[in-house]
Amino acid sequence: IPLGARDARTRHVDIRFIAATNVPLQNAIDNGSFRGDLYHRLNGITIALPPLRERHNDIELLALHFLGEIRARYGRPELEFSPDSLEIIRRYSWPGNIRELQRVISAAVIMADQAIEPDDLPDSVKAIAGRIIPSSASGTAARIEANEEAEPPLEVGNLSDTEPVIDLGKLKEWVGREAQKRVIEELQKRTNASQQELARMLGVDPKTLRSRLKEMAAAQS
């Protein structure tokens, strides 16, 4: 019966539901966080889709697909990946799966000039994809190639030591903030967008953007 209908006549419809989850539903049923009867109503055909890191052959195809969509949205039909940037995209593990890949390419399209180069990709992607360069002379790990104006919080140790060479938690936090800062600054240069419009373009809450802008201003003072 249609919602709000004045009569009670039943209308027959032919529909199919497609439901997706990243949670093991059988475990959720066992611990009571998901209803078993709903599961059995929905579970007609199950398709298990592996994470992107296990589908290496799909990464380049998806990257090119998203590039085509995003460059059309921004009016940049000529933009392509350089061989080096495409290699980094192939090597990265994409823990955020397709959403992360789409977000990274969207930011790269904004940052790029003639082509998408490695420097147009977030520092976090370049770091985890293998752009931490070992020093052949001393056997120590050199710092990540990043913004020359800021040093990453890395404590370099000898590779033969039992202690970790770098604190990956601190590294991930630093490169994430540096990448975010760079995208915000580039958008401010290339557009005359208000803070509200910038927040929409970045996909963040305006309050979050205002807080980040205050942090950036304080760091420069």
Domain co-membership, 63 together with 96: yes
The answer on pLDDT for 202 being more than 70 is: yes
Residue 43 has pLDDT above 90, yes or no: no
Same domain membership, residue 115 and residue 70: yes
The helix/strand count (H/E) of the chain reads as: 9, 0
β-sheet bridge partners, residue 67: none
Q: Which residue has the higher pLDDT, 159 or 37?
A: 37
Q: How many domains does the chain have?
A: 3
Question: What is the CB neighbour count within 10 angstroms for residue 43?
Answer: 11
Residues 121, 126, 202, 52, Cα dihedral to 10° = 110
More confident residue, 70 or 202: 70
CA 78 to CA 71: how far, in whole Å?
A: 8
Tell me the CATH number at 181: 1.10.10
Residues 41 and 66 in one domain: no
Residue 35 lies in a domain: yes
Q: Decide if 20 is inside a domain.
A: yes
Q: Is 113 contained in some domain?
A: yes
Specify if 143 maps to a domain: no
Task: Read off the pLDDT of residues 82-137 as tens digits, 9 standing for 90 and up.
Answer: 999 999 999 898 988 988 999 999 999 988 888 999 989 988 888 776 544 333 33
Cβ-in-10-Å burial (0-12, 13-18, 19+) of 122 comes to: buried
**Same-domain status, 117 and 177:** no
- Pick the most confident of 10-24, 97-111, 205-219: 97-111
- Tell whether 94 and 121 lie within a shared domain: yes
| Residue 166 pLDDT class (50, 70, 90 cuts) | low
CA atoms of 183 and 209, how far apart (whole Å): 12
CATH number reported for the structural domain that contains residue 57 in this entry = 1.10.8.60
Which pLDDT score is estimated for 143?
32
Q: How confident is the model at residue 209 (pLDDT cuts 50, 70, 90)?
A: confident
Minimum mean pLDDT range among 57-71, 124-138, 151-165: 151-165
Q: What range does the domain containing 177 cover?
A: 168-219
Note whether 123 and 179 are same-domain residues: no
Most confident residue range from 25-29, 150-154, 193-197: 25-29
97 shares a domain with 77: yes
**Tell me, what's the pLDDT at 150?**
47
**Would you say residue 144 lies in a domain?**
no
CA Rg value for the chain: 23
Who has greater pLDDT, 185 or 115? 115
Both 70 and 91 in a single domain?
yes
pLDDT of residue 197: 80
pLDDT at 139: 32
**Same domain membership, residue 60 and residue 38:** no
Q: Are residues 31 and 76 in the same domain?
A: no
Q: Are residues 108 and 174 in the same domain?
A: no
Burial of 202 (0-12, 13-18, 19+ CB in 10 A): buried
